[in-house]
Amino acid sequence: MEGEYFTTFAREVLEKRSRRKSEHYAAVYDAIIKHIDAFSEEFDCDIFTNSVTGEFLDDFIIYLEDQGLRHNTIVGYIQKIQTLVRRASQYNYAVDNTYDEIDLKCEPTNAVFLSMNEIARIYYYKFEKQDKRKAKERIRDLFVLGCLTALRYSDYSTLTKDNFQGDYLVKRTKKTNVDVKIPMHDYVKEIYAKYGGVIPCKLCIQYVNKYLKVIMKEIGLNDLVTYSFTKGGKLITVTRQKWELISSHTARRSAATNMYLTGRMTTLEIMRLTGHRTEQNFFRYIRLTNDDTARSISGDMFFRK
């Protein structure tokens, strides 16, 4: 077959798959399609499935940088475009195989994690002001539950009584559609008892992320965090207080990192809870500073007489 208009093909794939995927999935592909349409209009060129060559992707990367996008966003876009071209080839549309020569790598992100001491500090914090105290407690308790289960927000925010079975939390995950069985931390048992099994749920993630920052600022998680990222093709270094970088997803990263730091669980055991398929992706996901690494290995026999 001949080449198909790339954005037409992309929309067909999106239409077929978006019903089984999250809203975020559709939003990302919508953004990619809009950028390709804008590129096509700016440079007065039609983009077919066989127009997506290595040379095109090089030009498109520069275009995206000029739009001020972050490097990791661009990496995600390029990888998804390559996946679409690969699928077009499977559908017997004409493609140019040089599309696969572009191999961009993600740079480390500024995502932070919370230590077990910080999680305990958050859990035991007493909100003094009556204004929205109950709402803050609900969000805090839900977040702590996430910090001790390694579940995604879509999973830890939709727990029901049926998920709590004895000393275990059992859940079929929304994104990967697999069953996980997680031993319950004492804090999780206390939260379950506090709400009579009716865990705070169905809270809009944007609302939760907004008030998490308010809560973490009030608790005083104000350690300075300096990180760098590439935006618009330029390296930018910024310093933020820790509370500014905390979101609902910090809970999952914190759980995975703290499980690893115990040294008592194998990587494979933790990956079965997090759903990571490769150790490479797992280690890119967890967050370890140099201090964390030093503490975790300090007791090793290598450092003894």
217 lies in the same domain as 140: yes
Structure tokens at 62: 């520069």
Is residue 13 within 8 Å of 84, Cβ to Cβ? Answer: yes
- Do the domain assignments include residue 302? no
- Do the domain assignments include residue 111? no
Structure tokens at 283: 């280690």
158 lies in the same domain as 284: yes
165 lies in the same domain as 243: yes
In angstroms, the CA 298 to CA 301 distance is 9
Q: What is the per-residue pLDDT for 303?
A: 40
40 lies in the same domain as 70: yes
Q: How is the beta sheet containing 168-172 ordered, strand by strand?
A: 164-165, 168-172, 179-183
Q: What is the per-residue pLDDT for 16?
A: 80
Q: How distant, in Å, are the alpha carbons of 140, 279, 287, 298 from that of 193?
A: 15, 36, 31, 38
127 lies in the same domain as 273: yes
Strand partners, 234: 231
Strand 224-231, strand 234-241: pairing: antiparallel
Structural domain for 206, as ranges:
116-297
- Do the domain assignments include residue 51? yes
DSSP state of 106: P
Mean pLDDT, 10 residues at a time, the chain of 305 residues: 84 78 78 95 93 95 95 94 94 92 84 90 88 87 94 90 92 84 93 89 85 94 90 92 94 90 84 80 69 51 46
Q: What is the per-residue pLDDT for 3?
A: 73
Residue 149: closest CA among 253, 71, 246: 253
180 lies in the same domain as 261: yes
Strand partners, 182: 169
43 lies in the same domain as 84: yes
Residue 146: closest CA among 112, 114, 179: 114
Which of 33, 67, 101 is where one domain is finished? Answer: 101
In angstroms, the CA 110 to CA 233 distance is 17
Q: Which amino acid would we find at residue 195?
A: Y
Q: Which residue has the tokens 């559908």?
A: 91
- Do the domain assignments include residue 106? no
Structure tokens at 267: 């990587």
Q: What is the per-residue pLDDT for 52?
A: 95
In angstroms, the CA 244 to CA 76 distance is 24
192 lies in the same domain as 266: yes
